[in-house]
């Protein structure tokens, strides 16, 4: 076996088999499920994740896997994340009866559930969150801007406000040192 340093963004995988149907089965599983887990001799699970369909959720697939956890434990973790995000939004004066506040809550909560950062642009965030709520991009943008203008973050640009909220939630969840 040859050790190689894998550079960020490039991953190499080789499957060697004499049966073409086995190779097709692996490809079908990856295409359909997006992930395959393989257990080695020591009982350690290794994951092969396929990013051909939805590259944004590839990292979230591995970080949300919890082979030893129960559904109840995952539900408690999700509820705790939402509680932390909701309390940070309340600290910043968001009116939770506004649709825009619910959209911000969902965007940040989903980012933590998937184990990823916020979408790289506000446009991507408006699109993703609006689609999940059945809203157009324009409706989502208008509602989020209105909610931010009614909050204590009204003097900040949208992306900076989202990063501020995200950072505060990270500290509250213990992902980041509070003194940073």
User: What is the residue-level pLDDT of the chain in tens, covering all 180 positions?
Assistant: 344 444 444 555 566 777 777 778 777 777 777 777 766 666 666 667 776 666 556 556 555 555 555 556 667 777 888 888 999 999 999 999 999 999 999 989 888 887 777 777 888 888 888 888 889 989 999 999 999 999 998 888 888 898 889 888 888 887 766 555
Q: Are residues 96 and 138 in the same domain?
A: yes
Place of tokens 């809550």: 105
Q: Are residues 93 and 146 in the same domain?
A: yes
Tokens of 79: 């509820």
Q: Does any domain span residue 12?
A: no
Domain termination residue (choose one: 31, 63, 95) = 63
Q: Does any domain span residue 78?
A: yes
Domain hosting 49: range is 20-63
Q: Does any domain span residue 5?
A: no
Report the pLDDT value the prediction gives residue 2, as an integer from 0 to 100.
43
Q: Are residues 59 and 27 in the same domain?
A: yes
Q: Are residues 58 and 125 in the same domain?
A: no
Q: Are residues 82 and 148 in the same domain?
A: yes
Q: DSSP string covering the chain, please?
A: ----PPPTT--------S-HHHHHHHHHHHHHHSEEEEE-TTS-EEEEE--SS-GGGHHHHHHT--TT--HHHHHHHHHHHHHHHHHHHHHTT--TTSHHHHHHHHHHHHHHHHT-PPPSSHHHHHHHHHHHHT--HHHHHHHHHHHHHHSTTTTS-HHHHHHHHHHHHHHHHTSS-TT-
Q: Are residues 78 and 26 in the same domain?
A: no
Taking the complete model, does pTM exceed 0.85, yes or no?
A: no
Q: Are residues 79 and 157 in the same domain?
A: yes
Domain termination residue (choose one: 28, 63, 98) = 63
Q: Does any domain span residue 6?
A: no
Q: Are residues 56 and 94 in the same domain?
A: no
Domain count, the chain: 2
Domain termination residue (choose one: 30, 63, 96) = 63
């Amino acid at each position: 076996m040859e050790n190689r340093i894998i550079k960020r963004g490039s991953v190499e995988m080789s499957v060697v088999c004499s049966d073409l149907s086995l190779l097709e089965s692996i490809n079908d599983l990856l295409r359909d499920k997006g992930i395959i887990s393989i257990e080695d001799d020591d009982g350690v699970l290794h994951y092969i994740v396929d990013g051909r369909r939805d590259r944004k959720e590839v990292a979230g697939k591995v970080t949300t896997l919890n082979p030893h956890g129960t559904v109840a434990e995952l539900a408690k973790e999700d509820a705790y994340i939402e509680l932390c995000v909701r309390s940070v939004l309340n600290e910043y004066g968001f009116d939770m009866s506004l649709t825009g506040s619910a959209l911000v809550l969902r965007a940040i909560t989903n980012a933590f559930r998937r184990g990823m950062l916020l979408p790289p642009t506000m446009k991507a965030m408006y699109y993703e969150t609006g689609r999940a709520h059945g809203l157009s991009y324009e409706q989502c943008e208008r509602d989020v801007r209105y909610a931010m203008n009614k909050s204590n973050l009204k003097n900040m640009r949208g992306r900076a406000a989202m990063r501020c909220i995200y950072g505060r939630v990270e500290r509250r969840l213990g992902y980041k040192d509070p003194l940073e």
